[in-house]
């Protein structure tokens, strides 16, 4: 079970699928997906992935709120989390960074680029 | 199978274990049979039955029972077999059953009996054991009893002995012994026989209940019964009471009680004894009585004797004190009693007393003695003592010694002796008479004085010596005075036996008895007859002398009178002389002028005070000096000549220096001008020249001054006149009434009047009509207030020109302070006035600008305090002027965080005017934030110091808001655009890099994703652009007549698929209503609204579309016919606060919600735009969590105004 397992939480079906396919194709990681914050939280607690990619703009439980929830649950406290956002404003980015996530990735992204960024933020080697 | 009914039967009887036992046996037996009978088929039932029965019986009582019961069974079987060859199963069964039961029962019984027997056997064994033990115990007990019995016997013997002793004692003693139960003597259980002799009753009597109680004396009974219980407390008790003796009398008995208890302390009985104490009691009473008597007596005696100064002792034969009623001071009873009386006396007296005591004892007679003894303070007291025997029962063993203090008596005695001596010895006569005047006593002195002997006069009346009145002494008057004063003292004349008279000094004093009443008087008479004589002769001489003196005195008086008259005359003359001298001196002294007299030799003989003042010499200095001293040297020669000349002239007086000035010379050398006159007086041979001189130097000086002043005045008047002529200011002078006296040229110029015209009241003409009253009023006020007059007013000249002037006038007062006129000026201020007017006008213009401009204008002083705000600013911020003026700008309008930087800017700005443009947020009164762009100007004084700032500001809040919305919009849109782009980009990237093969299913999926996202993107972009175009009016609406019902149907068709997909029902209520609109756009609106409805409704709910005609007022004008569309859904509803805002761009109830459902957030905005372009209105009504109703109403005919064209 050497393979990294990543949980992708994004409400946009298309984006989510693309990410999944990208990560599987490029890095060969095991990708789990959730379409909402609540679902993602439950899945994270149950599956304990090695990392979480978390979309910021989601209905009901948005990215930051989901992240906070992850922090309060002991199984998921230490799972490194990366935000995905389309918002390019640096002030907003700074806000997200202050929450304590491992990294922020801006949409849109290229496949290889996405993987590299993730690797970079989490310190996973090739 | 057969035994089992039996087994069942037995089970009913509740014997389970036996059942099992029985069952097993049955089985065994059956098996046994089976083994030995290999045929499968059963034996004839009989055998089996038998086996069963046997088994059953065995199960019950065991083998014993079986054997017992088996006999009848066998017999019966034999019988059966013999009699009936064939036996039916049932018969057999029944038989067996019966037999079995019987057997069982028998067995049971037997068993029971056996069991019982066993039980009994065990019981019997147990009992036997117990019996053995009991017998042993009993034997032991018996042993013990025997021992006790022996002991008991011993005790009994002892007891008997004791009892016998007791009996003996009882019989012989006079003490009655009894015993009674603890309840009391109600019933006496035992009483000794001697009760007969003691109390006179037989002992049996006491056995009667209550006998004892009833024989107690009634008076004691209560006490006894009450006290009886005490025996229980203390274990013993005794009391005394009277008991009725058999002989009928009450005898006192002493009852001693003892409580007898058992070892535990429980009272068993009371034993006691009675003793007859009657005799003792009686004796006791007698003794008590005598004792009481004795005590009373002693007390009485004591009270008597303790207060008297009598010492009463009882002495025995030896002289020892047995009793003392009181002791000497500081000595107590113990010391006295038992001591020898003589010890208390000084040694010298002791033998005497002893002797006397002895005499008393021997003779039995009363003896007395006197002695003195020092008391505790050392004072010698005298006592007299009586010694008398005390008889007691015809013999006396003791003596009573009664001593009385007679010290006072002794003293009195001595005093009396002394008095008697005096009485005898005194030279003067002393007569004691009673109150009637009868002579009680007559001393030798009286014998000598009056000539009568004592014996002759005692008893006689004292009147015999009283001369001439011959009234007894004391007279009534004497007595009265004695009562008042206590004595009578006077001279009295008396007559002797030889009939000669005499005079004596008498003092009469009263004699009092012990009650203080006067009973007698004593008169002491001192013969002063000789003295009197001498006095008389002396008096005669004196009279003679007096007579002589009188004579001489009258002579002297005459002479005195004459002398007096002469003196008076002289005095009058002297006065007149003095008066005239004084007058002269007065003149001389008071005259300010110098009066100098010189004699013929020109020597000063008179130099008055005035001269002293003028010349500075004292008169003493100049008298006798030459007159030249007073003259300037140069005149001295001529002067003396003149005097000489004058001397020869006939006139006696003339002025000096008629032709020229005269000068005088003061002491200090100063010369002065003078006026003088000279006169000549001849008195006998002497000629005196008198000059009267006046110092006129002052007068000269004054004259000179006046001349000077006049010159100066003339000069100044000249100057003044010149000035007035050339002044650019109009000058006038008037009197107090306001009549003009003078005006200068300039005045005339200004006023346009000539001098003549102005004089008097003429000047008033020139005043402007409107100002006349004001000026006059002011004038009067100034007069009244005594202050200067200042006023601005107008002249209206004759040529019509109006000039503004500033008039000032000051009052001129005379010496008394009364106003005698005014002098003033007028200045032409016309130019100034104009300038003022211009200034006011411009100020007004500027002010109006500030008031009305739609910009905020704020003025701050250099401290940042508001000193000006314009109305627009007040409107903007919601404050009033009064609230703001004087407040601090920074604290009032800025957020706390802002204050510091803004204030810093303000400070910098004041210092130097740099970047006058500034933007900040201010807070209105309601706390709203407004962003203002300021343009600031620095105000400075002439010196260049900053006075403050003036700022004009524009409210750019709106602009900012709009900016903000725009930014938000851009932010949201960019996000919206990026999301599908992410998917597209990612998808294409995967495909292009070959990471995913296009032909694979994955690849297909990716391509789909890309395609969908592209579509979404396209939709979004379209929507945005459309909205933009709609907003800007770039879309042309193609209006034609449309049918509402048709529109609804088309819309329904378009949305049906989507509705079906989500399981929502669409219902339309169409009406054929015709109106003018762009059909496509209408459908767009309907589909948009329906799409929203579908998105926000749950599956299974219904969306209703309806349309109706109505009248509605759009734009507040007249109502118009319009078509109202309604789309009603049963979705989650819209909260009231959002009902307006959802029609804004990108405003969704829940922003991310709709997007998920494929919305762009622009739908409602587009709808609104379209509807408003048709001149209609769109709104929503909603109930949260129940339903929403979107309405839009379009006017049927679009009027010209509502038709929006490019």
- Residues 6 or more apart whose CB falls under 8 angstroms from that of B230 comprise B237
Residues of B in contact with A89 (CB under 8 A): 971
Number of Cβ within a 10 Å radius of residue B906: 21
Whether A111 and B1002 lie within 8 Å, measured CB to CB: no
CA-CA-CA-CA torsion sign (B962, B964, B967, B968): negative
Distance from CA of A25 to the nearest CA of B (A): 6
Cis, peptide link before residue B1065, omega less than 30° from 0: no
Cβ–Cβ under 8 Å, residues B795 and B751 = yes
| Subunit contact B990:A57, Cβ cutoff 8 A | no
Question: Do residue B971 and residue A89 have CB atoms under 8 angstroms apart?
Answer: yes
Residues of A within 8 A of B1001 (CB-CB) are: none
**B1094-1117 tens-digit pLDDT:** 888 888 889 999 999 998 888 777
pLDDT exceeds cutoff 80 at B846: yes
A14 to chain B: closest CA residue: B1009
pLDDT band at B42 (very low <50, low <70, confident <90, very high): very low
**Coil, strand or helix at B936:** strand
pLDDT for B640-688, tens place per residue? Answer: 777 677 767 766 666 665 555 678 888 888 888 888 888 888 877 888 8
Domain locations along chain A: 5-119
Q: Tell me, what's the pLDDT at B1204?
A: 47
> Given an 8 Å threshold on Cβ–Cβ distance, is B995 in contact with A59?
no
Q: Give the C-alpha separation, B336 to B338, whole Å.
A: 6
B779 secondary structure, DSSP code: H
- Of residues B731 and B660, the one with the higher pLDDT is B731
Q: Who contacts B386 (Cβ-Cβ below 8 Å, separation ≥6)?
A: B366, B367, B368, B401, B402, B403
Higher per-residue pLDDT: B176 or B660: B176
Residues of B in contact with A107 (CB under 8 A): 978-979, 981-982
- Parallel, antiparallel or unpaired: strands B819-828 and B802-813: antiparallel
Contact A108 B978 (CB under 8 A): yes
Q: What distance in Å separates the CA atoms of residue B1168 and residue B1190, rounded to the nearest whole number?
A: 11
Inter-chain contact A111–B995, Cβ cutoff 8 Å?
A: yes
A86 with B990: Cβ contact below 8 A? no
Q: What was the pLDDT predicted at B272? A: 86
Give the per-residue pLDDT at B94.
64
Assess whether pLDDT exceeds 90 at residue B559.
no
Cβ count within 10 A of residue B973: 18
* Interface probe with B: pick from A66, A109, A111, most Cβ of B within 10 Å: A111
A62 close to B (CB below 8 A):
yes
Percent of chain B that is helix, strand, coil (3-state, to 5): 50, 25, 25
**Do B1145 and B969 touch, CB atoms closer than 8 A?**
yes
Give the residue among B464, B431, B461, B462 at the shortest CA–CA distance from B447: B431
CB distance A87–B971 less than 8 Å?
Answer: yes
SS3 B687: strand
Q: Which long-range contacts (CB under 8 A, 24 or more apart) does B277-280 make?
A: B277/B240, B277/B252, B277/B253, B278/B251, B278/B252, B278/B253, B280/B252
Comparing CA positions, the residue from B809, B820, B813, B819 lying closest to residue B731 is: B809
Cis amide leading into B518 (omega within 30) = no
What is the domain class of A5-119 according to CATH? Answer: alpha beta
- 34-53 in A: which are within 8 Å (CB) of B? none
Coil, strand, or helix at residue B929? strand
> Are B990 and A25 within 8 A, CB to CB?
yes
Q: Is B212 exposed, middle or buried (0-12, 13-18, 19+ CB in 10 A)?
A: buried
Omega before B116 within 30 of 0, i.e. cis? no
In angstroms, the CA B1047 to CA B1042 distance is 8
> Do B1141 and B1126 form a contact (C-beta atoms < 8 A)?
no
Residue B323: predicted pLDDT: 80
Which has the closest alpha carbon to B174: B58, B278, B93, B50? B278
Q: Which residue from B1123, B1137, B1021, B1037 is spatially nearest to B1079, judged by alpha carbons?
A: B1037
What pLDDT, in 10s, does the model give residues B765-775? 788 888 888 88
Q: What percent of chain B has pLDDT over 90?
A: 8
If one compares B1177 and B102, the residue with the highest pLDDT of the two is B1177
pLDDT at B10 over 80: no
Instruction: Considering only the beta carbons, identify the residue of B990, B1013, B1152 that sits closest to A111.
Output: B990
CA distance A95 to A93: 5
Q: For position B161, what pLDDT does the model report?
A: 93
Does residue B919 contact residue B933 with C-beta atoms inside 8 Å?
yes
Other Cβ atoms less than 10 A from the Cβ of B593: the count is 19
- Quote the pLDDT of residue B431: 86
The reported pLDDT for the residue numbered B140 is 92
Question: Which pLDDT tens digit goes with each residue over B890-917?
Answer: 888 888 888 888 888 888 888 886 778 8
Core vs surface per residue B278-316: b (16+ CB within 10 A) or e: beebeeeeeeeeeeeeeeeeeeeeeeebeeeebbbbbbb
pLDDT for B657: 58
Instruction: Please tell me which of the candidates A86, A89, A112 has its beta carbon nearest to residue B979.
Output: A86
Give me the pLDDT at residue B306, please. 63
3-state SS assignment for residue B1135:
coil
* Torsion sign over Cα B647, B653, B654, B656: positive
Q: Do A107 and B978 touch (CB under 8 A)?
A: yes
Q: List, in order, residues 6 or more apart from B1082 with CB less than 8 Å away.
A: B1042, B1047, B1170, B1194
Cβ under 8 Å to B: A residues 87-106: 87-89
Tell me whether residues B979 and A15 touch, CB distance under 8 A: yes
Name which of B982, B993, B1156 is nearest A15 (Cβ-Cβ). B982
Query: B981–A112: do the CB atoms touch at under 8 Å?
Result: no
Interface of B to A at Cβ within 8 Å reads 971, 974-975, 978-987, 989-990, 993, 995-996, 1002, 1005-1006, 1009-1010, 1012-1013, 1150-1153, 1155-1156
Residue B1202: band (very low, low, confident or very high) from pLDDT cuts 50, 70, 90: very low
Q: Is the pLDDT of residue B880 over 60?
A: yes
**CB spacing of B979 vs A107 below 8 angstroms:** yes
Please judge whether A11 and B971 are an interchain contact, meaning their C-beta atoms are less than 8 angstroms apart: no
Number of helices (H), then strands (E), in chain A: 5, 5
User: Does position B849 have pLDDT exceeding 70, yes or no?
Assistant: yes
* Min distance B1153 CA to chain A CA atoms (Å): 6
Using the beta-carbon criterion (under 8 Å), do B993 and A62 form an inter-chain contact?
no
- The verdict on A65 touching B (C-beta cutoff 8 Å) is no
Q: What is the mean pLDDT of residues B755-770?
A: 81
Burial class of residue B714 (count of CB atoms within 10 Å of its CB; 0-12, 13-18, 19+): exposed
The answer to whether B1188 and B1133 have CB atoms below 8 angstroms apart is: yes
CA dist B625 and B1167 (Å) reads 147
Q: Which residues on chain A are in Cβ contact (under 8 Å) with B974?
A: 86-88
Terminal Cα-to-Cα distance of chain A (whole angstroms) = 16
Closest Cβ–Cβ partner in A13, A18, A87 for B987: A18
Span B334-384, pLDDT tens digits: 777 888 877 877 777 676 777 888 888 888 788 888 888 777 777 888 888
Contact A59/B990, CB-based, under 8 Å? Answer: no
User: Residue A80 gets which letter from DSSP?
Assistant: -
Q: Is A86 on the interface with B (CB under 8 A)?
A: yes
Q: Chain A: residue nearest B1152 by CA? A: A59
Would the CB atoms of B985 and A109 count as touching at under 8 Å?
yes
Which chain A residues contact residue B978 at CB under 8 A? 86, 88, 107-108
Give, for B765, the enclosing helix (H) or strand (E).
Answer: none
pLDDT reported for residue B1151:
47
Which residue among A14, A60, A111 sits closest to B1012, beta carbon to beta carbon?
A14
Cross-chain Cβ contact A107/B982 below 8 Å: yes
Write the pLDDT tens digit of every residue in A68-121.
888 888 888 888 888 888 776 677 778 887 888 888 888 777 777 888 888 888
- Which residues from B are below 8 Å from A26, CB to CB? 995
């Amino acid at each position: 079970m050497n393979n990294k397992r990543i949980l992708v939480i994004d409400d946009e079906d298309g984006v989510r699928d693309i990410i999944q396919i990208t990560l599987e194709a490029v890095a060969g990681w095991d990708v789990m997906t959730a379409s909402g914050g609540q679902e993602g939280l439950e899945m994270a607690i149950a599956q304990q992935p090695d990392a979480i990619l978390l979309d910021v703009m989601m209905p009901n439980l948005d990215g930051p709120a989901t992240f906070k929830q992850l922090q309060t649950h002991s199984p998921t406290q230490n799972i490194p989390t990366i935000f995905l956002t389309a918002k390019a404003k640096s002030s907003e980015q700074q806000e997200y960074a202050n929450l304590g996530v491992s990294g922020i990735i801006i949409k849109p992204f290229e496949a290889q680029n996405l993987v590299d960024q993730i690797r970079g933020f989490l310190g996973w080697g090739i | 199978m057969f035994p089992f009914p039996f087994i069942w039967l037995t089970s009913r009887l509740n014997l389970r274990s036996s059942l099992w036992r029985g069952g097993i046996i049955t089985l065994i037996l059956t098996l046994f049979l089976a083994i030995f009978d290999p045929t499968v088929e059963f034996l004839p039932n009989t055998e089996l039955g038998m086996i069963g029965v046997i088994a059953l019986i065995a199960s019950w009582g065991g083998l014993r029972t079986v054997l017992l019961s088996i006999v009848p069974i066998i017999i019966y079987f034999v019988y059966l077999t013999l009699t009936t060859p064939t036996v039916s199963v049932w018969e057999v069964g029944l038989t067996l059953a019966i037999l079995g039961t019987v057997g069982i029962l028998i067995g049971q019984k037997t068993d029971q009996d056996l069991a019982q027997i066993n039980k009994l056997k065990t019981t019997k064994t147990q009992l036997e054991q117990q019996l053995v033990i009991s017998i042993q115990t009993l034997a032991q007990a018996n042993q013990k009893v025997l021992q006790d019995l022996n002991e008991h016997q011993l005790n009994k013997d002892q007891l008997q002995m004791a009892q016998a002793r007791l009996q003996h004692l009882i019989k012989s003693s006079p003490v009655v012994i009894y015993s009674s139960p603890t309840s009391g003597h109600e019933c006496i259980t035992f009483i000794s026989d001697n009760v007969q002799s003691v109390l006179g009753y037989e002992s049996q009597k006491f056995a009667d209940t209550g006998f004892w109680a009833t024989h107690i004396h009634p008076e004691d009974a209560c006490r006894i019964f009450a006290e009886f219980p005490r025996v229980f407390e203390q274990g013993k008790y005794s009391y005394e009471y009277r008991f009725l003796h058999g002989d009928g009398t009450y005898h006192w008995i002493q009852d001693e009680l003892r409580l007898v208890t058992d070892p535990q302390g429980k009272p068993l009985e009371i034993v006691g004894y009675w003793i007859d104490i009657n005799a003792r009691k009686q004796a006791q009473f007698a003794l008590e009585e005598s004792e009481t008597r004795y005590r009373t007596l002693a007390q009485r005696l004591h009270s008597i004797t303790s207060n008297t100064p009598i010492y009463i002792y009882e002495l025995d034969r030896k002289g020892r004190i047995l009793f003392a009623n009181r002791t000497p001071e500081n000595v107590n009873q113990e010391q006295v009693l038992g001591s020898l009386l003589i010890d208390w006396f000084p040694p010298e007296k002791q033998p005497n007393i002893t002797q006397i005591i002895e005499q008393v004892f021997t003779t039995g007679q009363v003896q007395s003695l006197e002695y003195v003894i020092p008391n505790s303070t050392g004072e010698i007291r005298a006592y007299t003592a009586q010694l008398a025997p005390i008889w007691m029962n015809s013999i006396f063993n003791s003596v009573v010694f009664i001593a009385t203090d007679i010290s006072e008596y002794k003293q009195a005695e001595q005093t009396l002796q002394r008095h008697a001596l005096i009485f005898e010895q005194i030279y003067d006569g002393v007569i004691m008479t009673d109150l009637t005047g009868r002579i009680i006593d007559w001393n030798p002195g009286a014998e000598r004085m009056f000539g009568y002997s004592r014996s002759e006069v005692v008893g006689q009346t004292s009147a015999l010596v009283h001369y001439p009145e011959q009234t007894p002494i004391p007279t009534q008057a004497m007595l009265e005075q004695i009562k008042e004063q206590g004595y009578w003292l006077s001279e009295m004349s008396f007559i002797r036996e030889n009939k000669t008279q005499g005079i004596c000094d008498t003092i009469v004093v009263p004699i009092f008895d012990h009650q203080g009443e006067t009973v007698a008087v004593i008169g002491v008479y001192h013969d002063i007859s000789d003295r009197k004589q001498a006095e008389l002769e002396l008096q005669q001489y004196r009279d003679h002398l007096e007579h002589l003196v009188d004579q001489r005195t009258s002579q002297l008086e005459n002479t005195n009178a004459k002398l007096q008259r002469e003196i008076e005359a002289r005095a009058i003359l002297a006065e007149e002389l003095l008066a005239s001298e004084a007058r002269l001196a007065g003149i001389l002294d008071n005259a300010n002028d110098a009066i100098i007299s010189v004699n013929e030799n020109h020597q000063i003989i008179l130099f008055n005070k005035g001269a002293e003042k003028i010349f500075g010499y004292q008169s003493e200095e100049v008298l006798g000096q030459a007159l030249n001293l007073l003259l300037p040297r140069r005149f001295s020669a001529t002067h003396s000549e003149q005097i000489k000349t004058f001397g020869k002239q006939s006139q006696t007086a003339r002025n000096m220096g008629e032709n020229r000035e005269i000068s005088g010379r003061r002491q200090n050398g100063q010369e002065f001008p003078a006026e003088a006159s000279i006169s000549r007086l001849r008195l006998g041979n002497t000629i005196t020249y008198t000059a009267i001189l006046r110092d006129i130097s002052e007068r000269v000086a004054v004259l000179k001054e006046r001349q000077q002043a006049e010159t100066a005045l003339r000069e100044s008047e000249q100057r003044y006149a010149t000035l007035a002529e050339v002044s650019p200011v109009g000058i006038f002078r008037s009197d107090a009434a306001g009549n003009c006296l003078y005006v200068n040229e300039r005045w005339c110029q200004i006023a346009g009047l000539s001098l003549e015209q102005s004089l008097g009241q003429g000047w008033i003409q020139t005043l402007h009509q409107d100002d006349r009253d004001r000026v006059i009023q002011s004038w009067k006020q100034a007069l009244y207030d005594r202050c200067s007059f200042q006023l601005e007013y107008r002249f209206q000249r004759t040529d019509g020109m109006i000039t503004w002037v500033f008039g000032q006038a000051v009052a001129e007062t005379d010496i008394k302070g009364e106003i005698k006129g005014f002098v003033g000026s007028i200045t032409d201020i016309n130019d100034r006035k104009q300038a003022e007017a211009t200034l006011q006008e411009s100020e007004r213009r500027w002010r109006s600008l500030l008031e009305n401009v739609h910009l905020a204008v704020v003025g701050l002083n250099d401290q940042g305090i508001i000193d000006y705000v314009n109305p627009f600013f007040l409107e903007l911020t919601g404050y009033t002027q009064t609230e703001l003026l004087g407040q601090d700008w920074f604290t009032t309008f800025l957020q706390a965080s802002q204050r510091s930087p803004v204030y810093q800017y303000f400070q910098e700005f004041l210092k130097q005017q740099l970047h006058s443009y500034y933007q900040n947020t201010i807070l209105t009164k309601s706390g709203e934030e407004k962003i203002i762009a300021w343009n600031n100007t620095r105000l400075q004084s002439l010196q260049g110091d900053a006075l403050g700032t003036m700022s004009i500001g524009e409210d750019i809040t709106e602009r900012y808001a709009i900016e903000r919305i725009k930014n938000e919009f851009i932010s949201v849109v960019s996000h919206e655009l990026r999301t599908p782009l992410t998917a597209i980009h990612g998808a294409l990237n995967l495909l292009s890099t070959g990471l995913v093969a296009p032909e694979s299913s994955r690849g297909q999926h990716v391509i789909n994703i890309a395609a969908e996202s592209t579509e979404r993107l396209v939709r979004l972009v379209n929507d945005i652009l459309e909205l933009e175009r709609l907003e800007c009016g770039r879309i042309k609406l193609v209006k034609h007549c449309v049918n509402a019902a048709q529109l609804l149907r088309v819309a329904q068709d378009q949305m049906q698929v989507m509705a079906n997909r989500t399981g929502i029902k669409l219902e339309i209520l169409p009406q054929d209503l015709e109106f003018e609109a762009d059909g496509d756009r209408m459908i767009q609106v309907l589909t948009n609204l329906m799409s929203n409805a579908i998105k926000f409704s749950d599956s299974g709910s219904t969306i209703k579309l309806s349309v109706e005609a109505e009248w509605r007022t759009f734009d507040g004008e007249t109502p118009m016919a319009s078509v109202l569309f309604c789309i009603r859904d049963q979705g989650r509803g819209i909260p009231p606060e959002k009902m307006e805002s959802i029609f804004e761009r990108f405003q969704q109830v829940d922003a991310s919600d709709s997007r998920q459902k494929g919305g762009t957030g622009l739908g409602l905005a587009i709808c609104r735009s379209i509807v408003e372009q048709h001149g209609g209105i769109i709104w929503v009504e909603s109930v949260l969590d129940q339903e929403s109703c979107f309405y839009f109403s379009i006017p049927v005919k679009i009027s010209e105004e509502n038709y929006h064209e490019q």
